[in-house]
Amino acid sequence: MILQALYQLAQREKLMASPDFEPKPVAWIIRIDPHGKFLGFEGTHYTPPATGKKKPKSVPRRFLVPREGGRTSGDRAFFLYDKAEYALGIDPNGDSSKEKLATRFALFRGRVKDCLTRTGDQGIEALHQFLEQLANGEQSVTLPEGCVSNDLFAFVYAPDKDVLITEREKVRDEWRRQRSAVADDSGNNPVCLVSGERSSPAKLVPGIKRVPGGSTSGVALISFNTNAFESYGWDGNENAPISRDAAEACSTALNRLLDPAYPDPKQPGQALPKRNLLLSSDTVVCYWSAEKDDAGFSSAFGGLFSANEEEVGELYRSIWRGRPPEMDDPSAFYALTLTGTQGRAVVRDWFASTVSEVARNLARHFQDFLIVRNAPPPKGQSLPPHIPLGMVVESLADPTRSRKDGVPAPLAAALVHSAYGGLPYPLAGLQRAIQRYRMELGNEYDESGGWMTKHWNDARAAIIKAVLTRNYRMEVLPDMDPNNLNHGYVLGKLMAVLERIQSEALGNPNASVIDRFFSGASACPKAVFVRLLKSARHHVRKVQDDKGKGGFVFLLDRLVDELANCFDPKHNGFPSSLTLEQQGLFVLGYHQMRKWLWMKRDEREEWEASHADSPRAYLWSKEKPEVVDAAIAE
């Protein structure tokens, strides 16, 4: 199913219009005249337009060159283009021995000579003269500054101006002849698993590049490279018979999905739209649909997860508000999650559905993830409409490692699958979100990383809410709920109020109640809250005569009474422990109450207007004006 969907993508986007050629980044052009004289190097590097905050790096242009398989072991020269070690017999790093360079240069010259013998092409004749003169010391070249070992070199015959020698008609015909498959007349060709036609199976499936965590030279998606993988007497890739054309089409389609700017074969000079999301340093999800132009929902899919309003059309913005767009699109939608290793690509997840179903599932996902945010927006900007997927995954990372490295690949894959598949979220996400919220809560006051910690805590709270809402079927509102009497939720709100009382009494102490008691209070509240309530009484008495703070602390103290009264002393008062889901509610109660306590005047007035049925302790507008002014002072 995966390979068939990739094969169909390659056919629809005309990725195999020239099946014997493929686009590759050629960093340097070598110009030669009709007599084989070296005319100079020409770099093809350019700077693509920026797509994020990071400044884009210079990259080489892509040219259609003969399709060559990857080099696995041993020396093998490409057809009329290659690295400097083969094309010129020079190692940019100076690490290779003279014997090795001579061998590789000879292999490249041998392919040129063979092409000249078969075609008699003038451009090949000039190239042959240049290479022989270079080998004999009659000419010399110095590699251009900035050249690296994996840069590709190609040649231009001067009279052709900007046309590569590999694009000359006779050369193209010769390459097609070399590539033509030898027909198997035995009549025993197996049926290709992808195309359904009888053909001899490909010996090697082309490697996939740009898989995060994988080798830069490419990793295999399909490979039977040891006897342990073989069965029923089949040898190598005969265990999965796929024709050469189908194998190359599938690999090309997957390379296109992983490439941020794959050349559009139908519009030269243009790039196909991006179709992947990076989940972590070694995991990526590729997505596409069977739409004819693939420019509708698929183009908005990445923008929905990255919270990029420019990439999301007006039709799909309702998904952020938890409402699926009014559409009935039965087109197939696919998502493939891969993790790279040095040997092969690991398929973490495969998803197939329809565009309409995915749109509905995403609307539900964003509704589940909707949460009030305590993090301030970037300077001069507003917060994105939703928490970006990258920040959600980063919030679960182990801080002792890089944020992109600290998230288990299976967890990242399961999170995104739950989003577009409408499935329960992984419980590991709930556990890690609670743990990381506890551990990094105090870092919000750290000047170096506190700003990001607040954003990560917003993401962790959103994960907790989503898991409780979808997996445990709990009704959890996006903002503070004064009528939610779940013990975990009430205790979390109480913790936020006690923190604010301490802040009013002591300012910014070196170790707040949050730093010292949050973890213990969220797991074993009975052992912690009795002590915290006693301390709160001292803090209230300290500021009760302060005209500037006394009225505000009075309101906070009344909130403490309101919340503490939810625990009947006749039934042992505070619970001795909290379950995992109650610990999640504790975090949500604290997170939402903290936002509520720091509301501005207009925000509070709007909240009270929509929560008129709340207990009196939450309705501060009913108090004396001077008390209210102190309580909601901006």
Task: Read off the amino acid at residue 524.
Answer: C
Distance CA 451, CA 446 (A): 8
Task: Give pLDDT, residue 444.
Answer: 60
Token pair 């898991």 is found at 467
pLDDT at 53: 65
201-225 b/e with 16+ CB inside 10 Å = b?
bbebbbbbbbbbbbbeebbbbbbbe
| pTM score, whole prediction | 0.87
What is the predicted pLDDT for the residue at 625? 47
- Neighbour count for residue 94 (Cβ, 10 Å): 7
pLDDT at 449: 52
**H/E stretch holding 6:** helix 2-12
What is the distance between the alpha carbons of residues 576 and 246, in angstroms, rounded to a whole number? Answer: 63
Q: Is 198 helix (H, G, I), strand (E, B) or coil?
A: strand
> In whole angstroms, what is the distance from residue 125 CA to residue 80 CA?
12
Is-contact 286 254, C-beta < 8 A?
yes
Q: How far apart are CA 117 and CA 220, in angstroms?
A: 35
- Cα–Cα nearest to 44, from 179, 178, 160, 144: 144
For position 161, what pLDDT does the model report?
84
Task: Write the CB contacts of 280 (distance below 8 Å, at least 6 apart in sequence).
Answer: 212, 393, 404, 405, 407, 409, 412
CA distance 336 to 254: 10
Cα distances (angstroms) measured from residue 558 to each of 400, 402, 543, 553, 606: 41, 44, 15, 8, 22
Please state, in angstroms and rounded to a whole number, the distance separating the CA atoms of residues 347 and 334. Answer: 14
The string of DSSP codes covering 594-622 is: HHHHT--HHHHHHHHHH-TTS-GGG-GGG
CA distances from 110 to 3, 34, 105 (A): 37, 20, 9
- Give the DSSP letter of residue 351: E
Cβ count within 10 A of residue 602: 10
Crossing angle for the helix pair 550-564 and 487-506, to the nearest 10 degrees? 160
Q: How far apart are CA 335 and CA 414, in angstroms?
A: 12
Q: What is the Cα Rg of the chain in Å?
A: 32
pLDDT value of position 548: 65
Alpha helices in 136-243 (DSSP H): 169-179
End-to-end CA distance of the chain: 58
Instruction: Pull the structure tokens for residue 268.
Output: 């030269």
Longest dimension (CA), the chain: 103
Per-residue b or e along 152-181, where b marks 16 or more CB atoms closer than 10 Å to that residue's CB: bbbbbbeeeeeebbbbbeebbebbeeeeee
C-alpha closest to that of 112 among 70, 180, 67, 165: 165
Burial of residue 301, with CB atoms counted within 10 A of its CB: 0-12 exposed, 13-18 middle, 19 or more buried: buried
Q: Which amino acid is at 85?
A: E
CA dist., res. 249 & res. 107, Å (int):
28
Contacts of 168 (CB under 8 A, 6+ apart): 121, 123, 124, 157, 160
What size, in residues, is the chain?
Answer: 634
332-340 and 21-25 strand pairing: unpaired
Residue 70 CA to residue 76 CA, distance in Å, equals 9
* Sheet architecture: strand order including 82-83: 38-43, 28-32, 152-157, 82-83
Cα 309–chain centre separation = 17
Q: What is the pLDDT of residue 157?
A: 95
What is the mean pLDDT for each group of 10 consecutive residues in the chain (634 residues)? 93 91 95 95 88 79 90 87 95 91 96 96 96 94 92 95 93 92 60 86 85 86 74 74 90 94 87 91 92 76 89 88 87 94 89 94 95 87 89 87 79 94 95 93 59 88 97 94 95 95 85 90 92 89 75 89 84 86 97 93 89 89 55 46
